[in-house]
């Protein structure tokens, strides 16, 4: 279901989706009110929901849509303004599955093609997970009275996945590197709220697949949630313990040695793994600075970004922790790391922080 007050945007998105063999547009609507009123009639798996619309805007329609269909995948679409970035991140906390920035001008071929690729991938992966969850729910035995089933992707008590795993590196980690994508903002908020002792001990560097402006807002949220300084990385700045550094949207964040200091180097090169910023450049560049004293975490996200860099970290003597499938919005990035056999642990999101605190305190069992 495509919901946008622009007839041009509705038509463009509908044509793109209609060209995919595994998707179809069941409704193209102008306002959030139309979407709420006609949800039962069309019963979509996924809704692409604009933020700014007459009658009922996207952020107001979101909870009403989820109240009517709890497992509806909602992708918020907005232009790249600070206000819309704030609203998009708020929407994630209210139950939206993801967001996508709309190009300022659909006449620019590159911007439109990037938008098309990202949107189709998000619809395909998020919609597929929702369908699998629906099938699983339909065949699951009923729960005991008084026990509510957790929402898709949020399994707080899931047991760790049992996989053949590597041992943690022998060296005491001197840095924590985190990579994430789809579902990442909420996962990052959960994680940084609980790793205060780690942040106080070492620097924390994060690459989240996200456009400019959005990363500015995310850094502010991370600072409030962690109660530690957090900001977008600045080219040439020294990296210090007690700080969270976030790769700015549209630029890769690498780490380089400058004298006795580790410093940030921002890279305006081409996308890596279709992403900019990408996780692999951060992971790989860190090895030249910290060798095997690296702890890395790969959180929820589409694709395989972070897997190759994670291999390099492990080969240098460092360690990788991956988020498990049950607690991931999309198990692409962490799943690729698990399947590559490079992980020292595969854990539900709510168990990663406590594991990190123990590892940085010296427990590498």
What's domain 175-360's superfamily in CATH?
Answer: Methylesterase CheB, C-terminal domain (3.40.50.180)
Task: Express each pLDDT in 168-201 by its tens digit.
Answer: 999 999 999 999 999 999 999 999 999 999 999 9
d(CA 282, CA 200): 21
Active-site amino acid positions? 181, 209, 305
Task: Express each pLDDT in 217-275 by its tens digit.
Answer: 999 999 999 999 999 999 999 999 999 999 999 999 999 999 889 999 999 999 999 89
Instruction: Please tell me the predicted confidence (pLDDT) of residue 163.
Output: 56
Backbone angles phi, psi at 31, to 5 degrees: -135, 160
d(CA 265, CA 262): 10
Domains 2-134 and 175-360 share a fold: yes
Task: Express each pLDDT in 80-103 by its tens digit.
Answer: 889 999 999 999 999 999 999 987
Name the residue ranges covered by the structural domains of the chain: 2-134, 175-360
CB 56 within 8 A of CB 31: yes
d(CA 151, CA 130): 11
Q: What is the largest CA-CA distance in the chain?
A: 65
Instruction: Please tell me the predicted confidence (pLDDT) of residue 137.
Output: 43
How would residue 157 be classed by pLDDT, with cut points 50, 70 and 90?
Answer: very low
d(CA 335, CA 341): 10
Q: Mean pLDDT score of the chain, rounded to an integer?
A: 90
Tell how far CA 145 is from the center of its chain: 34
Backbone angles phi, psi at 49, to 5 degrees: -120, 115
d(CA 7, CA 9): 6
The reply to whether omega before 277 is within 30° of 0 (cis) is: yes
Task: Express each pLDDT in 7-17 by its tens digit.
Answer: 999 999 999 99
What's domain 2-134's superfamily in CATH?
Answer: Response regulator (3.40.50.2300)
Q: Write the Ramachandran bin of 39: left for phi over 0, alpha for psi from -120 to 50, otherwise beta.
A: alpha
The beta strands (E) that lie in the chain are given as 2-3, 28-29, 46-50, 73-78, 98-101, 175-180, 204-208, 230-232, 244-246, 252-258, 261-267, 294-298, 319-323, 345-347
């Amino acid at each position: 279901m495509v919901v946008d007050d622009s007839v041009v945007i509705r038509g463009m998105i509908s044509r793109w989706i209609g060209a995919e063999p595994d998707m179809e547009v069941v409704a193209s609507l102008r306002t959030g009110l139309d979407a709420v009123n006609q949800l039962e009639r069309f019963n979509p798996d996924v809704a692409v929901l604009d933020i700014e619309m007459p009658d009922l805007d996207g952020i107001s329609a979101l909870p009403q849509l989820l109240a009517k269909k709890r497992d509806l995948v909602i992708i918020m679409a907005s232009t790249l303004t600070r206000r819309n970035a704030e609203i998009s991140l708020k929407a994630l906390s209210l139950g939206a599955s993801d967001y996508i920035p709309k190009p300022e001008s659909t006449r620019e071929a590159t911007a439109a093609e990037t938008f098309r690729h990202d949107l189709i991938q998000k619809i395909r992966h998020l919609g597929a997970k929702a369908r699998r969850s629906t099938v699983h729910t339909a065949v699951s035995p009923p729960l005991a009275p008084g026990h509510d089933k957790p929402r898709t992707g949020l399994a707080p008590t899931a047991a760790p996945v049992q996989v053949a795993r590597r041992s943690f590196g022998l060296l005491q980690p001197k840095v924590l590197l985190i990579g994430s994508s789809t579902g990442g903002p909420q996962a990052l908020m959960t994680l940084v709220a609980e790793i205060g002792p780690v942040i106080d001990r070492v620097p924390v560097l994060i690459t989240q697949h996200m456009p400019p402006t959005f990363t500015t807002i995310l850094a502010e949220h991370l600072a409030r949630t962690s109660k530690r300084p957090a900001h977008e990385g600045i080219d040439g700045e020294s990296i210090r313990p007690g700080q969270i550094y976030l790769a700015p949207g549209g630029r890769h964040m690498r780490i380089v040695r400058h004298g006795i200091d580790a410093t940030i180097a921002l890279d305006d090169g081409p996308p890596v793994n279709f992403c900019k910023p990408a996780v692999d450049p951060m992971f790989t560049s860190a090895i030249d600075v910290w060798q095997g004293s690296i702890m890395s975490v790969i959180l929820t996200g589409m694709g395989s970004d972070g897997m190759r860099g994670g291999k390099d970290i492990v080969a240098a003597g460092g360690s990788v922790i991956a988020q498990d499938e049950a607690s991931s919005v999309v198990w692409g990035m962490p799943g690729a790391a698990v399947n590559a056999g490079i992980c020292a642990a595969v854990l539900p999101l709510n168990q990663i922080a406590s594991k990190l605190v123990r590892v940085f305190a010296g427990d590498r069992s």
